[in-house]
A and B are shown apart, each in its own frame.
Chain A
Amino acid sequence: NAGVTQTPKFRVLKTGQSMTLLCAQDMNHEYMYWYRQDPGMGLRLIHYSVGEGTTAKGEVPDGYNVSRLKKQNFLLGLESAAPSQTSVYFCASSYSTRGAGDPYEQYFGPGTRLTVT
């Protein structure tokens, strides 16, 4: 049981380049989330999904897109990277209808450190 995994762990982009971050979970969770973490800012929600095929905007969605084509995967895309998107990105998931878990209890991946130059 790997939990929540994120690919890649590190990435350096030039301004204007695009990339996709992959989040995968093997806990059969319904809900998935993408956060960014910046010094002194805590975690801020970018986008989230409450089920396969559904996505919604969080607190800081501009410049990002997401897709949830499969229940276990949640992709975060940057179409044209900007230096302001330099951050650590965390994926999280919660709530399995098969278990006793609570929908608010989120399980986090190890993070992706992205630098945009």
Chain B
Amino acid sequence: AQSVTQPDIHITVSEGASLELRCNYSYGATPYLFWYVQSPGQGLQLLLKYFSGDTLVQGIKGFEAEFKRSQSSFNLRKPSVHWSDAAEYFCAVGGGSNYKLTFGKGTLLTVNP
């Protein structure tokens, strides 16, 4: 069975600082990997995705993520955080023929001015 671990429940950074959110997955074959963002009271918006090819993927809002098969990781990064990035971030993994995603429990990002 596939699973996702987001080790950090809550991260606080200062505006302008760099950000890295961790995601570790478990899946037997090449996974489909996603990062979603959820602003308070809103639905989930796709930030970026990895299916194959270049292991460094670019997303919206200046985010990027790197797939590392050897570490079973798909960490999300941003070089300079803006106050509007404050939200909850979810990593998800998919694979197999049932087209389901398994989500991590999320990381809440707080941005200090």
Contact = CB atoms under 8 A, between A and B. Distances in A.
Max chain B C-beta neighbours (<10 A), residue from A4, A42, A102, A104: A104
Contacts of A103: 99
B87 to A, nearest CB: 14
B43 A40 contact: no
B103 A42 contact: yes
Contacts of B101: 45, 104, 106
A31 interface: yes
Contacts of B43: 4, 90, 108-111
A21 to B, nearest CB: 14
B1 to A, nearest CB: 10
Interface residues of B, number: 21
Given A42-B90, A50-B99, A90-B43, A105 B49 contact: yes
Contacts of B46: 105, 107
A106 B51 CA distance: 14
Contacts of B51: 102, 104
A41 B34 CA distance: 18
Interface string A50-72: 10000010100000000000000
